[in-house]
Amino acid sequence: MSLLRIRKPKTRKGKKVLLAREPQLVENARVMLFLDGRKCGGDVKLCMKDLQQLRKPLVKVLSRNNDISPFEDPSSLEFLVQKNDCALFAFGSTSKKRPNNLILGRLFENEILDMVELGIKQYKALPDFKTEKIGTCVKPCLVFNGSKWSQTDELRRLRNLLTDTFQKDNIEAIRLQGIEHVISFTCTEDMTILMRSYKILLKKSGQRTPRIELMEIGPSADFSIRRTKIASEDFYKLSRKQPKELKVTKTKNISRDELGNTHGRIHIGKQELDKIQTRRVKGLKKTPEQKRDNRQKKKELLKVAAKEILIEKEQTKSS
């Protein structure tokens, strides 16, 4: 059994690279690696170029052809993805047995987590649509049509994989004018994945909310699912595990309402007002008018009490 040697960095740049590859509480945006197989041309080449355009700037492209069979021996593919510090990959190839073949996948702990092989039935590239395009760094809105996406594990993982493929940075707020691009995925009865890309146009409606129209801008593709390789439930659960530092802990006596306001409840012990010293507090001293009124009330009470005593004595004598 060979011992694994840990090579320490000798330069400041090497140390910086190794620190960036270490596990972090908040991960950076995922970079996608594009690489070609033995032969790559036709629709699959156009599809990969359009995917690079949609995912810019989080892409890395290898120009050389690679003699790799991901489903038979994924070790070479894992090495290239790890070397380029990527988490996602797109592998394009074409052959007589599997023409226009596109493989999408992702890694976890330098091992392939999920991998799906798609066959391109029909493809229409971006330049074929003579319409106005969108910017390069626009985040798309993803729509999955059909009930089949939640029926099998393969389709659920494919939906999750497509979400990771087109996801860029995490955002906390959404502006209506910033939603410009939508990508639709439809799963038909014969298990064909229809991918369509639209630009969102905001028109005047005479009201506060605008009227929305969709204009197809490409690319447009029809995919067929050929082969899949999904991770086990334990490995998939491990990849989704979050560190304890990021988990939101519930604090006692603190709640939030529907508007996001924070409400707190404070528990105070019983107050002993008799032991509170209030004589020397200027704010609690009585004014001279209040003292005069109190003296008059005491005199009136004494007079009333004296009259009642005299009346009782007279009644006892008469009896």
CATH number, domain at 51?
3.40.50.10480
Beta-carbon-side half-sphere exposure of residue 243 (alpha carbons within 13 Å): 7
Cα distance between residue 239 and residue 194, in whole Å: 28
Report how far residue 114's alpha carbon sits from residue 111's, in angstroms, rounded to the nearest whole number: 9
Q: Which helix (H) or strand (E) holds 174?
A: none
**CA angle in degrees (0–180, nearest 5) for 5-8-12:** 160
53 domain residue, yes or no: yes
Based on the structure, what is the number of domains in the chain? 1
In a domain, 255, yes or no: no
With H, G, I as helix, E, B as strand and everything else as coil, classify residue 75: helix
Domain span at residue 137 reads 29-233
pLDDT given for residue 280 in this prediction: 64
Residue-wise over 244-282: b if at least 16 C-beta within 10 A, else e? eeeeeeeeeeeeeeeeeeeeeeeeeeeeeeeeeeeeeee
Predicted TM-score (pTM) of this structure: 0.72
Which residue bears the tokens 């050929």? 226
Name the amino acid, one letter, at 44: V
Q: Is residue 175 one of the residues assigned to a domain?
A: yes
Is 275 inside any structural domain?
Answer: no
- Across the chain, the runs of DSSP E, i.e. the strands, are 32-36, 59-65, 88-93, 101-108, 111-124, 141-145, 181-187, 192-203, 211-216, 220-229, 254-256, 262-264
The confidence score (pLDDT) of residue 221 equals: 95
Q: Would 141 be classed as within a structural domain?
A: yes
Nearest partner of 212 among 185, 186, 177, 183, judged by Cα: 177
3-state secondary structure at position 172: coil
Amino acid at 227: R
Three-class secondary structure of residue 189 per DSSP: coil
Q: Is residue 57 part of a domain?
A: yes
* Per-residue tens of pLDDT for the chain, all 319 residues: 344 456 688 898 888 877 777 777 777 788 999 999 999 988 999 999 999 999 988 999 998 999 999 999 999 999 999 889 899 999 999 999 999 999 999 999 889 999 999 999 999 999 999 888 888 778 899 999 988 998 899 999 999 999 999 988 877 778 877 889 999 999 999 999 999 999 999 888 888 888 989 999 989 999 999 999 999 999 999 888 888 877 777 788 888 888 878 888 888 888 777 777 666 666 667 788 888 998 999 999 999 998 888 888 888 877 6
What angle (nearest 5°) sits at the alpha carbon of residue 285, between those of residues 282 and 288? 125
Whether 156 is in a domain gets the answer yes
pLDDT at 316: 81
In a domain, 244, yes or no: no
